[in-house]
Structure 1
Amino acid sequence: MWYETKAAKLMGIKYPILQGPFGGNLSSVDLVAAVSNAGGLGGYGAYTLSPQEIAAVNDQIKVATNKPYNINLWVSDGDAPKKGISDAQYEQTKAAFQPYFEKVGIPFPEKPKPFKSRFENQVQVILDIRPKVFSFMFGVPSQAILEECRKLGIVTVGAATTLDEAIFLEAAGVDMIIASGFEAGGHRPSFLDKAESSTTGSFVLLQLIREKVKVPIISAGGIATGKGVAAALALGADAAQVGTAFLATDESNALPIHRQLLFSDAAKYTTLSRAYTGRLGRGITSTIAMEMMGRETEILPFPLQTSFMSALRKAAIEQEKWDMILFWGGQIAPILKHTKAKELMTALVEETTAYFETL
């Protein structure tokens, strides 16, 4: 059967369909459990959580499902200098964003404090709680961490946006690689070069990586139907990761307006922008994203830009000024149909099965 792939066997799941692990408080225990209980692999994006919060979420997931699931972290979770940013850099950003803060009528925030990486403490919790799958973005954990995962039976999955990154991940010894295409919503998890250089589409990237890499590949970006899953498998993927379609379901932790917009005409237009977090990510086109194009030097490094923009986002939500917010979403959003995660999983499996049965 089509679903009896190396990836499915390695992860201990029935269907090689993964739910994208959303960061920034968009993941939920309910969504993870719904996907895993339906035979796929639910995923929880935990890069913003403290070690204690990760452990607590893991306990909740274990109550909700006895099936395999994935917890995701960011290896590189900061781009800012250790000592923080200069006053001059802050003033430059302040000048660029002042009109937006004035539009929502709130005072300008103070200069963000230096950021200290949380990854080392977070990954220790991963080793302690031992999820079946540990996926990571923006780099590769140390050899010591990967070796410990192997000893503990934790399947490791790295994300690549280019062929070079996939080759790098395989050489490091990861078990599987996500081929993250340009169509995908959310952040571009590039780590060997600037994210702006990772402009390869999902299925081209998949074929390039398949030619050079031997470990199982998970295709991600632009997949929301069973035919999309089937196409990925036909081109050499061992599994498919579905992001935007699951983000739009009621079980995700996205705001109701976010889910609503993913089913609206607005979802036809997406933009890659650094304006909201400091790292390049795709979301439904917004005023700020458009107006800040070509002005990347006026944006603070990640995650200081996120901190800087948090008050603006909160005020825009309260005032329902949706065009000032970048709601994450991929290019595939206009074809979304399902609002329930279980129904989406059922449709993905049935459509993929139907496609292969007609061959």
Structure 2
Amino acid sequence: MALPPILQNLRIPVVGSPLFIISNPDLVIAQCKAGIVGAFPALNAREKEGEPIMLEAWLKRITEELDRHNQANPDNPAAPFAVNQIVHRSNARLERDLEICHRWKVPIWITSLGARVEVNEAAHDCGGITLHDIINNTFARKAIEKGADGLIAVAAGAGGHAGAQSPFALVSEIREWFDGPLLLSGAIANGRSILAAQAMGADLAYIGSPFIATDEANAVPDYKQMIVGHGAEDIVYSNLFTGVHGNYLKPSIARAGMDPDNLERSDPSKMNFGENREKPKSWKEIWGSGQGIGAIRTVQPAARLIDTLAAQYADAKAEMRKIVNG
């Protein structure tokens, strides 16, 4: 099945995943101008009581800046952008944010932690498509049954809220019944891995952690340097911090006074994505990361990172052609 037009003609088959706190208009705009889909969580756009709605301001800036770029570069238009909605009962902003995204005709809607028919209908009503992230085949079927256009398979090794299944198993099971848009997330940090995701059966790679170590990312310098200086063995998988299992940097956990190899388990029923949620102050600088960061060795502009990924991807395709052709 062909990809929807909005996901075709990307410079490389990559979506920059929406990073909690870290993804902002600067990063999204840089990603889109460099030829990949840029994305941010709607909940990243926060305002104090009485201030103008920040999500509205972010969408206005992104839309207008990408429009100006496209008018000035008709032969090299920007890729589309996406907004991530946390579809969980604790997200009290969801209805408001859906209305704002509908009004701004957001082209790609990424949904997480809950598949709801009305969210997909809102996206379709304004001409958008929905991609739902899942960690197993059961959730994948439910998402498509409720009207999602495509799936993001969040496999073992992915940053943030990640599954525990091998990408080989997860993609294979989904492709037995689903021929629509399929993205793969999980330790993808170079061009070879992008091509490998496609060889497995995915259409696009979903890349997050490498973009933490970019100039545009809303991450403190220590966080960026921790990404640059560590690798897969420095990641721990835990549900303590949000109630949902995710991957985190061990050094940041240790610095908060905890033993990263002996963390307690959390009660998933206490999961809370509301703006007034409480968590220990010591958790403020516990940082998420996927296992692919061993490939990241410098903090750089997002466009330069994408240039590197594109060159690596082209080289990997050339090498595979030689292998296939004997």
TM-score by length of 1: 0.75
- Which of 36, 60, 71 in structure 1 is aligned with 2:83? 71
Q: Would the alpha carbon gap of residues 48 and 30 (structure 1) be closer, same or farther in structure 2, given more than 3 Å must change?
A: closer
Point out 4+ residue stretches in structure 1 off by more than 6 angstroms.
none
The 2-side partners of 1:150 and 1:73 are apart by 15
Q: Which deviates the most, 58-67 or 34-43?
A: 58-67
The 2-side partners of 1:262 and 1:336 are apart by 7
Paired residue type of 1:227: R
Specify the alignment match of 2:55 in structure 1. Answer: 54
Specify the alignment match of 2:93 in structure 1. Answer: 118
Specify the alignment match of 2:279 in structure 1. Answer: 309
The 2-side partners of 1:224 and 1:6 are apart by 25
The 1-side partners of 2:62 and 2:280 are apart by 28
Specify the alignment match of 2:178 in structure 1. Answer: 213
Q: Secondary structure at the match of 1:177?
A: strand
Instruction: Give yes or no for contact 1:11–1:155 (8 Å, CA) kept in 2.
Output: no
Q: Does 1:332 align with 2:307?
A: no
Paired residue type of 2:282: L
Instruction: Give yes or no for contact 2:18–2:40 (8 Å, CA) kept in 1.
Output: yes
By how many angstroms is 1:234 displaced? 1.0
Specify the alignment match of 1:137 in structure 2. Answer: 112
By how many angstroms is 1:246 displaced? 1.1
Q: Would the alpha carbon gap of residues 170 and 299 (structure 1) be closer, same or farther in structure 2, given more than 3 Å must change?
A: closer
By how many angstroms is 1:313 displaced? 4.5
> Any residues of structure 2 matched to 1:97-176 within 5 Å, and which?
117-142=92-117, 144-176=118-150
By how many angstroms is 1:278 displaced? 3.3
By how many angstroms is 1:77 displaced? 5.2
- Which of 189, 204, 222 in structure 2 is aligned with 1:224? 189
Deviation per CA, 1:124-165: give whole Å up to 9, x if none: 1111111111111011132x3323322321111110110111
Paired residue type of 1:35: Q
Specify the alignment match of 1:353 in structure 2. Answer: 314
Paired residue type of 2:18: P
By how many angstroms is 1:32 displaced? 0.6
RMSD over aligned CA atoms reads 2.6
Specify the alignment match of 1:269 in structure 2. Answer: 234
Q: Secondary structure at the match of 1:275?
A: coil
- Which of 150, 158, 175 in structure 2 is aligned with 1:184? 158
TM-score by length of 2: 0.82
Q: Would the alpha carbon gap of residues 355 and 328 (structure 1) be closer, same or farther in structure 2, given more than 3 Å must change?
A: same
Q: Secondary structure at the match of 2:198?
A: helix
Deviation per CA, 1:325-349: give whole Å up to 9, x if none: 3211111112213522111111212
Specify the alignment match of 1:28 in structure 2. Answer: 24
By how many angstroms is 1:264 displaced? 1.1
Q: Would the alpha carbon gap of residues 240 and 297 (structure 1) be closer, same or farther in structure 2, given more than 3 Å must change?
A: closer
Tell me the percent identity: 24
Q: List runs of 5+ in structure 1 lacking aligned partners.
A: 79-115, 189-197, 315-324
Deviation per CA, 1:275-331: give whole Å up to 9, x if none: 3333322110123363762443599542479843363345xxxxxxxxxx3211111
Q: Would the alpha carbon gap of residues 50 and 129 (structure 1) be closer, same or farther in structure 2, given more than 3 Å must change?
A: farther
Q: List runs of 5+ in structure 2 lacking aligned partners.
A: 48-52, 68-77, 322-326
- Report the structure number with the largest CA radius of gyration: 1
Specify the alignment match of 1:43 in structure 2. Answer: 39
Q: Which deviates the most, 281-290 or 305-314?
A: 305-314
Paired residue type of 2:211: F
Instruction: Give yes or no for contact 1:230–1:356 (8 Å, CA) kept in 2.
Output: yes
By how many angstroms is 1:222 displaced? 0.9
Specify the alignment match of 1:245 in structure 2. Answer: 210
The 2-side partners of 1:182 and 1:306 are apart by 30
Paired residue total: 297
The 2-side partners of 1:299 and 1:275 are apart by 12
Specify the alignment match of 1:341 in structure 2. Answer: 302
The 2-side partners of 1:297 and 1:141 are apart by 24
By how many angstroms is 1:186 displaced? 0.9
The 1-side partners of 2:312 and 2:268 are apart by 46
Deviation per CA, 1:233-252: give whole Å up to 9, x if none: 11111111111011221211
Q: Would the alpha carbon gap of residues 310 and 8 (structure 1) be closer, same or farther in structure 2, given more than 3 Å must change?
A: farther
